[in-house]
Chains A and B, each alone.
Chain A
Amino acid sequence: MTYIRTTPEKLWSALTTDAEFMKQYWFGVHCQSHWTAGSSWKMVHDDGQISDAGEIVEAEPPRRLVIRWQHQSKPELKAEGESLCTMELEPSGPAVKLSITHTIERDPSKLIAAVSDGWPKIISNLKSLLETGSVVSTNAYPASNQP
């Protein structure tokens, strides 16, 4: 959850339709969908690989988006089945409160552990890009952090 000094419309577009903008803050990834309830959704990487796919459960621009989300590439994460990702945008003074809730019907979950590591980096980049015009980090896993 974070507060971003922008409008709900700009934030909605950054989270959905604006693929080029998305690549800038999402480490080269963008999501493809018609962004209406019932339409398919997939996450596409630089090299065309699809890491996650599912469908849009709810789409209420520019307030609420719910995605049924299943990981595709790593077998142990795919085996965990479908998760639910809810994004809520709520105006708060000159800013927008963005809440992302990612849940799955199992505990513990490797998928939730993985997205818990990823979401803060993505949201932090998105906030910085919308507020200042540049991202803070272009590499999700900097070399210095690797053992």
Chain B
Amino acid sequence: MRSMIIVPGRAPAWVRDQVRLAADGLTDDGLVLVAQSDAFEAPVHLPGTLGASTLLGVSRTGFPIWTGRRLAIWGMRRRQDRTVVVLFDGARPVTALGAALVARVRRERVTVNDLRSPERRQSAWSRLLGRATCAVAHERVASPRPQPDVRRALVYAICNHDRAFAELVVKTATAMSAETAVGWRFVIQSDDAAVTSVVSESLGSDFVSVEGSPQVDILHACDVVVVAHGPHDDLAEEAAREGAAGVIVGHPIADRMTRRLDGVFVTRHDVSSVIVALESARGRLYGEMRPAPEIRRDAEALLASVRGLALA
């Protein structure tokens, strides 16, 4: 079963994460194409990051997630079985409506994923076209956006017995500038009592705390999972598949690239690289972000709806 996700307009970074997660889930049923009328919003391009390409990434099933551009949105593509049109604040309403109409004409099952903020005022024209797009679609899945995310992003560093790695995470927390540190909170899982004492002596518990044993609820609630390259790589990969960001520290390819195609960030075993990876993953570098649990919840709601529609 072929699926397509259409992003009409220049979408912010959190929409990119949301779309990627939904696309990843849809690859369970077949090939997925993500068509963007504009590149994703990226005010800062960092060395080592991949630019826009025909490949958005590789899914959990190992299939590629392809990207398309305006021609694909306007119908110059193979017929898909399911089409999702993403609406967000700042989307191009004409493109969204046109894409939905083209998909209906081509007898595709159309779902509108409405990520617009109810609080934000829109022009009458945008409201009208948005309503028309929803009317054309078979179904609308609304994800009410919360107020701008002002909480601190939660980093869960899984260290176990690895004292050197735990020290690196503590150093990372202390080396953040005051302005950067405001947006972060660290939970370090370490069995080493020395790490606990270092943290309690030098850092505030509201900024960095240490847990003795792995906590599943923190793993699900956190925004970034950080592990050292080795046996815990799968935790970072799992986090990336679940809407959070995964960071693998000390990865051999980190000198050449900053993010793998499965979405996992890779860094060298040094403080600067880890700070850059955290900022790239869930920092305010690319504007407003959303908490990972909300991204996960909305993606799951969309997937359930799309699958139910296909069965019907």
**Chain A complexes with chain B:** no
| Residues of chain B at the chain A interface (Cβ within 8 Å) | none
